[in-house]
Protein backbone atom coordinates (compact mmCIF):
# COMPACT_ATOMS: atom_id res chain seq x y z
CA UNK A 1 0.00 0.00 0.00
CA UNK A 2 1.28 3.44 -0.93
CA UNK A 3 1.02 5.97 1.92
CA UNK A 4 0.70 9.70 1.29
CA UNK A 5 0.57 12.46 3.85
CA UNK A 6 -1.89 14.94 2.40
CA UNK A 7 -1.62 18.51 3.67
CA UNK A 8 -4.72 20.61 2.99
CA UNK A 9 -6.12 23.98 4.02
CA UNK A 10 -9.76 23.44 3.05
CA UNK A 11 -12.06 20.44 2.60
CA UNK A 12 -11.40 18.35 -0.48
CA UNK A 13 -13.69 18.83 -3.45
CA UNK A 14 -14.80 15.81 -5.46
CA UNK A 15 -12.35 16.82 -8.21
CA UNK A 16 -9.50 16.98 -5.68
CA UNK A 17 -10.40 13.53 -4.31
CA UNK A 18 -10.35 12.03 -7.78
CA UNK A 19 -7.08 13.83 -8.53
CA UNK A 20 -5.14 12.57 -5.48
CA UNK A 21 -6.61 9.06 -5.46
CA UNK A 22 -5.62 8.38 -9.07
CA UNK A 23 -2.06 9.74 -8.95
CA UNK A 24 -0.54 6.27 -8.69
CA UNK A 25 -2.83 4.37 -11.03
CA UNK A 26 -4.41 1.26 -9.56
CA UNK A 27 -2.11 1.05 -6.54
CA UNK A 28 -4.00 0.93 -3.24
CA UNK A 29 -3.65 4.25 -1.40
CA UNK A 30 -3.59 5.23 2.23
CA UNK A 31 -3.84 8.88 3.26
CA UNK A 32 -2.91 10.66 6.44
CA UNK A 33 -4.60 14.04 6.12
CA UNK A 34 -3.29 17.08 7.95
CA UNK A 35 -5.68 20.00 7.73
CA UNK A 36 -4.28 23.38 8.65
CA UNK A 37 -6.88 25.97 7.74
CA UNK A 38 -5.55 29.28 6.52
CA UNK A 39 -7.27 31.93 8.59
CA UNK A 40 -7.28 35.69 8.79
CA UNK A 41 -3.49 35.82 9.04
CA UNK A 42 -3.19 35.37 5.27
CA UNK A 43 -5.82 37.87 4.11
CA UNK A 44 -3.07 40.37 3.26
CA UNK A 45 -1.07 37.76 1.32
CA UNK A 46 -4.16 36.76 -0.67
CA UNK A 47 -4.85 40.42 -1.45
CA UNK A 48 -1.26 40.88 -2.66
CA UNK A 49 -1.64 37.75 -4.80
CA UNK A 50 -4.80 39.23 -6.32
CA UNK A 51 -3.04 42.52 -7.09
CA UNK A 52 -0.09 40.65 -8.64
CA UNK A 53 -2.53 38.85 -10.95
CA UNK A 54 -4.31 42.08 -11.87
CA UNK A 55 -7.49 41.06 -10.04
CA UNK A 56 -8.01 44.34 -8.23
CA UNK A 57 -11.71 43.77 -7.52
CA UNK A 58 -10.85 40.48 -5.81
CA UNK A 59 -8.15 42.18 -3.72
CA UNK A 60 -10.69 44.67 -2.36
CA UNK A 61 -13.10 41.86 -1.43
CA UNK A 62 -10.47 39.63 0.16
CA UNK A 63 -11.61 40.11 3.76
CA UNK A 64 -15.26 39.41 2.98
CA UNK A 65 -17.01 36.07 3.38
CA UNK A 66 -17.60 34.36 0.05
CA UNK A 67 -20.95 32.64 -0.46
CA UNK A 68 -20.76 28.88 -0.19
CA UNK A 69 -17.24 29.07 1.20
CA UNK A 70 -16.81 25.44 2.25
CA UNK A 71 -20.45 25.62 3.37
CA UNK A 72 -19.40 27.35 6.61
CA UNK A 73 -17.68 24.21 7.87
CA UNK A 74 -15.36 24.21 10.86
CA UNK A 75 -11.92 22.67 10.40
CA UNK A 76 -12.90 19.39 12.14
CA UNK A 77 -16.05 19.15 10.01
CA UNK A 78 -14.07 19.87 6.83
CA UNK A 79 -11.50 17.26 7.79
CA UNK A 80 -14.20 14.64 8.46
CA UNK A 81 -15.85 15.44 5.14
CA UNK A 82 -12.51 14.99 3.36
CA UNK A 83 -11.79 11.69 5.13
CA UNK A 84 -15.23 10.32 4.21
CA UNK A 85 -14.68 11.29 0.57
CA UNK A 86 -11.28 9.56 0.45
CA UNK A 87 -12.74 6.43 2.06
CA UNK A 88 -15.66 6.45 -0.39
CA UNK A 89 -13.07 6.44 -3.18
CA UNK A 90 -11.68 3.18 -1.76
CA UNK A 91 -8.71 4.54 0.18
CA UNK A 92 -7.73 4.21 3.81
CA UNK A 93 -7.78 7.65 5.42
CA UNK A 94 -7.10 9.11 8.85
CA UNK A 95 -6.29 12.66 9.80
CA UNK A 96 -6.18 15.54 12.18
CA UNK A 97 -6.50 19.30 12.33
CA UNK A 98 -3.16 21.00 12.87
CA UNK A 99 -3.35 24.32 14.68
CA UNK A 100 0.32 25.21 15.24
CA UNK A 101 3.63 24.40 13.56
CA UNK A 102 2.26 22.45 10.58
CA UNK A 103 5.68 21.60 9.15
CA UNK A 104 6.92 20.18 12.47
CA UNK A 105 3.78 18.05 12.65
CA UNK A 106 4.22 17.04 9.01
CA UNK A 107 7.78 15.80 9.66
CA UNK A 108 6.69 13.88 12.75
CA UNK A 109 3.83 12.20 10.88
CA UNK A 110 6.09 11.27 7.95
CA UNK A 111 8.68 9.82 10.34
CA UNK A 112 6.12 7.90 12.45
CA UNK A 113 4.14 6.51 9.52
CA UNK A 114 6.97 5.75 7.11
CA UNK A 115 5.00 7.63 4.43
CA UNK A 116 6.11 7.32 0.83
CA UNK A 117 5.38 10.92 -0.13
CA UNK A 118 3.85 14.22 0.90
CA UNK A 119 1.18 15.91 -1.18
CA UNK A 120 0.55 19.59 -0.49
CA UNK A 121 -2.84 20.50 -1.93
CA UNK A 122 -3.43 24.22 -1.68
CA UNK A 123 -4.65 27.29 -3.48
CA UNK A 124 -1.87 29.21 -5.21
CA UNK A 125 -0.09 31.59 -2.83
CA UNK A 126 2.14 33.47 -5.26
CA UNK A 127 3.92 35.73 -2.76
CA UNK A 128 4.84 32.81 -0.52
CA UNK A 129 5.86 30.71 -3.53
CA UNK A 130 8.07 33.47 -4.95
CA UNK A 131 10.01 33.65 -1.68
CA UNK A 132 9.90 29.84 -1.23
CA UNK A 133 7.95 30.23 2.01
CA UNK A 134 5.02 28.05 0.91
CA UNK A 135 4.42 24.69 2.61
CA UNK A 136 5.75 22.57 -0.25
CA UNK A 137 9.01 24.50 -0.64
CA UNK A 138 9.67 24.43 3.08
CA UNK A 139 8.63 20.77 3.44
CA UNK A 140 11.10 19.66 0.75
CA UNK A 141 13.94 20.64 3.08
CA UNK A 142 12.43 18.96 6.11
CA UNK A 143 10.65 15.66 5.53
CA UNK A 144 13.04 13.39 3.62
CA UNK A 145 10.46 12.02 1.14
CA UNK A 146 9.25 13.38 -2.21
CA UNK A 147 6.93 16.39 -1.88
CA UNK A 148 4.35 16.96 -4.59
CA UNK A 149 2.65 20.34 -4.79
CA UNK A 150 -0.81 20.40 -6.35
CA UNK A 151 -3.29 23.22 -6.70
CA UNK A 152 -6.72 22.62 -5.22
CA UNK A 153 -9.72 23.02 -7.46
CA UNK A 154 -12.22 25.79 -6.80
CA UNK A 155 -15.41 23.76 -6.65
CA UNK A 156 -16.96 23.28 -3.23
CA UNK A 157 -16.85 20.00 -1.34
CA UNK A 158 -19.84 17.67 -1.48
CA UNK A 159 -21.47 18.16 1.92
CA UNK A 160 -24.08 15.44 1.43
Q: pLDDT digits over 124-140, tens only?
A: 655 555 544 566 677 87
Asked whether 7 and 103 are in contact (CB, 8 A), the reply is no
- Calculate what percentage of the chain has a pLDDT beyond 90: 43
For residue range 50-77, list pLDDT tens digits in order.
555 555 555 444 444 443 444 467 889 9
CA distances from 93 to 24, 88, 122 (A): 16, 10, 19
Residue 4 or residue 136, greater confidence: 4
C-alpha Rg value of the chain to the nearest Å: 16
The pLDDT of residue 36: 85
Predicted local distance difference test score (pLDDT) of residue 5: 95
State the pLDDT at residue 158. 53
User: In this structure, are residues 157 and 12 in contact, taking their beta carbons and an 8 Å threshold?
Assistant: yes
Average pLDDT over residues 92-97: 97
Which CA distances in Å does 104 have to 3, 141, 142? 19, 12, 9
Other CB atoms within 10 Å distance of the CB of residue 150? 15
pLDDT at 55: 55
Q: Identify the pLDDT of residue 111.
A: 95
Amino acid sequence: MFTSVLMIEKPLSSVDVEFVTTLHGDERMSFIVLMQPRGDQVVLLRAIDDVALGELKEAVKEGEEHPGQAAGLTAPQGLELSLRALRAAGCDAVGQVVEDHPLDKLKAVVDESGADEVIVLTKPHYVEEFFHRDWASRARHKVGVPVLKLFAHNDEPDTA
